[in-house]
Homo-oligomer: A and B are copies of this chain.
Amino acid sequence: MAVIDRKKLILEAAAKSLSLYGYKATTMDQVAKLANVGKGTIYTFFKTKEELFDEIINSLIADIRFEVEGVLDDSASILDNVNNVLVRIHEIRESHQLTIKLIQEERDMGTQTVVEAMQRVEQSIIQYMKAIIQKAIDKGEIKACDPEVAAFVMLKMYFSLVIDWQRNHPPLKKEEIAKLFELYLLKGLLA
């Protein structure tokens, strides 16, 4: 179309700057310049810097959801589905430029807005997983349980294993983690 979509330009510019510099180091002047737009224009679409940021996080959440849906397979077992979802999310965390930058900023500077945003992302991931688990319960594949707690436990356990474990040990291979999931969460330890 002939009319330039300024809102889109702004969102793209902001996303780019956030990916490169993080939240704190992204200024509204910077975004305006990158988007070839007057700074005031940004404020016709977004009330504050935080609102602009939140909209980009919404896109990120949508992207992740899209990726997650891509690896879901209704005919696969719950173990495979959960595992594939978690592996995919972990891959995104490690390859997606924006995610990398935000995790870094959260860890190194503890920027409040970023901490909150990452918690929102985590919450949304738990919600997808909750739905997956609910389906498995409905199918009778696993026992009845609170699907949200189950999703929470799985996510925490997965990231403990791939991230925290490495602090003092050689990293676990993907298949090892899958085995551990099967043992601890599905089969149980009881002899």
A78 to B188, CA, bound (A): 13
Main secondary structure, interface of A, reads helix
Bitwise, A128-156 to B at CB < 8 A (1) or not (0) is 00000000000011110100011011001
Question: Are the CB atoms of A190 and B142 closer together than 8 Å?
Answer: yes
Task: Kindly identify, within residues 155 to 175 of chain A, every residue whose CB is under 8 Å from any CB belonging to chain B.
Answer: 156-157, 160-161, 164-165, 167-168
Q: Within 8 Å CB of A141, what residues of B?
A: 190-191
Question: Are the CB atoms of B167 and A152 closer together than 8 Å?
Answer: no
Q: How many residues of A contact B (CB 8 A)?
A: 30
> Taking beta carbons and an 8 Å cutoff, which residues of A are in contact with B?
78, 119, 123, 140-143, 145, 149-150, 152-153, 156-157, 160-161, 164-165, 167-168, 180, 183-191
